[in-house]
């Protein structure tokens, strides 16, 4: 019900754009912070805007740029099927220091272990490298075949990826991004305005305890068959917590104040608002793709929106005509 309540909030495109960018920054900050990144949220924002470099923080800055690039890639590719190449591309972007074009990363070719940072004691030994390709293939096949409720399947994907640990480094960040992609594809995108990573980072000990629940540290001695009910409960409660924060932020940002105006829009006008979530202007081609119209129908609809006072013409040339929302709807 909370998902539907957020979906139906009368949020303006301008507010959605603000909330989405805030969520991206939070996801990037908190997901990298979980792995030890030392930059503050404000510093993360400065790095991504290219305004600041911090002495002795080159690796931290590279992690920020890589995660943000991978998050953007996931958002742009949400309508494509999830494959092993998807996973390898996400990881390559995570490790890519902000590069937009990367070569998909192959899985690890040797054994790695996770140790307690203070004592040096092994806390988890993942499966051997020779078993990783099969395990990853099975995971991707399960993602595409399961009819498990989306929140539960996303929790399982997060857990299983962490258990397989297919890379030497970047597993946690890649797991969280893959989980986000699964949620988005399953209809839990909420316009990209929430951050599960913030929930994890708020109590790291709870996060690690939930995802590490097992009787033995070795993959082959119980970790693969562990009862992960506590993790699934933790994960779903995290979704609930994140969605509640989104609802509060949207309402505080002016969603309620605009309810009368937005609810007066026709269904077609409401759908057109989607085009302005990431851009200030649109062209008839955008309208054509949104509705699946032909070129002529899209142009006629744009002309009608201008006549109704919903669109304003920004560029009036025939070849490059573009439109913006009328001021009262911004």
Q: Give the separation between CA 137 and CA 103, rounded to whole angstroms.
A: 19
* Gap between the Cα atoms of 303 and 310, Å rounded: 10
**What pLDDT score was predicted for residue 124?**
87
289 within domain boundaries: yes
Which distant-in-sequence residues (6+ apart) come within 8 Å of 3 by Cβ?
188, 190, 243
What letters, b where the CB count within 10 A reaches 16 and e where it falls short, cover 261-273?
ebeeeeeebeebb
pLDDT, position 25? 92
Residues 86, 41 share a domain: yes
The domain that holds 16 is classified in CATH as 1.10.3290.10
Neighbours of 137 (CB within 10 A): 12
Asked whether residue 110 falls in the same domain as residue 189, the answer is yes
Looking at the predicted structure, is the pLDDT value of residue 11 above 70?
A: no
In a domain, 315, yes or no: yes
C-alpha 25/C-alpha 111 separation (Å) is 33
Q: What is the pLDDT of residues 196-213, one digit of tens each?
A: 999 999 888 899 888 876
Please, are residues 107 and 85 in contact by the beta-carbon 8 Å criterion?
A: no
- Residue 91 CA to residue 178 CA, distance in Å, equals 9
Same domain for 42 and 167, yes or no, is yes
In this prediction, residue 44 carries a pLDDT of 92
Percentage of the chain beyond pLDDT 90 is 53
Residue 7 inside a domain? The answer is no
pLDDT in tens, 94-110: 999 999 899 999 999 99
Same domain, yes or no: 161 and 67: yes
State how far the Cα of 305 lies from the Cα of 214, in Å rounded to an integer. Answer: 58
What pTM, to 2 d.p., does this model score?
Answer: 0.77
End position of a domain, from candidates 233, 254, 275: 254
- pLDDT the model gives residue 270: 84
Residues 156 and 243 in one domain: yes
Number of domains in the chain: 2
Q: What is the secondary structure of 175-188 as a DSSP string? A: HHHHHHHHHHHTT-
Residues 68, 212 within the same domain: yes
Answer whether residue 2 is part of any domain. no
Q: Check which CATH number belongs to the domain holding 283 and give it.
A: 1.10.10.10
Picking from 220, 254, 288, the residue at the C-terminal end of a domain is: 254
Note the pLDDT of residue 259. 59
Q: What is the mean pLDDT of the chain?
A: 88
Q: Which domain holds residue 278?
A: 265-329
What are the pLDDT digits (tens) for 146-189? 999 999 999 999 999 999 999 999 999 999 999 999 999 998 98
Q: Which of 202, 232, 254 is the last residue of a domain?
A: 254
Do 162 and 56 share a domain, yes or no?
yes
């Amino acid at each position: 019900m909370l998902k539907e309540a957020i979906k139906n909030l009368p949020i303006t495109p301008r507010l959605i754009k603000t909330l989405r960018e805030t969520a991206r920054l939070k996801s990037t900050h908190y997901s990298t912070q979980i792995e030890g990144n030392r930059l503050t949220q404000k510093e993360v924002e400065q790095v991504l805007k290219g305004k600041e470099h911090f002495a002795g923080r080159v690796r931290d800055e590279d992690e920020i740029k890589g995660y943000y690039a991978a998050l953007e890639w996931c958002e742009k590719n949400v309508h494509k099927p999830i494959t092993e190449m998807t996973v390898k591309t996400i990881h390559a972007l995570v490790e890519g220091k902000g590069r937009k074009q990367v070569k998909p990363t192959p899985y690890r070719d040797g054994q790695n272990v996770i140790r307690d940072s203070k004592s040096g004691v092994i806390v988890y030994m993942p499966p051997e490298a020779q078993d990783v390709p099969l395990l990853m293939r099975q995971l991707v096949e399960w993602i595409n075949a399961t009819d498990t409720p989306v929140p539960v399947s996303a929790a399982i994907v997060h857990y299983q990826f962490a258990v397989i640990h297919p890379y030497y480094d970047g597993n946690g960040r890649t797991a969280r991004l893959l989980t986000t992609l699964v949620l988005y594809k399953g209809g839990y995108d909420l316009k990209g305005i929430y951050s599960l990573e913030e929930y994890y980072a708020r109590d790291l000990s709870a996060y690690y305890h939930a995802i590490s629940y097992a009787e033995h540290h070795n993959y082959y001695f119980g970790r693969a068959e562990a009862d992960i009910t506590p993790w699934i409960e933790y994960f779903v409660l995290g979704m609930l917590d994140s969605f509640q924060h989104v609802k509060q932020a949207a309402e505080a940002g002016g969603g309620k104040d605009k309810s009368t105006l937005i609810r007066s829009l026709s269904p077609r006008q409401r759908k057109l608002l989607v085009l302005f979530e990431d851009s200030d202007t649109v062209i008839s081609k955008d309208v054509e793709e949104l509705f699946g119209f032909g070129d002529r129908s899209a142009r006629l609809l744009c002309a009608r929106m201008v006549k109704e006072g919903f669109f304003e013409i920004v560029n009036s040339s025939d070849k490059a005509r573009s439109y913006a929302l009328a001021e009262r709807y911004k």
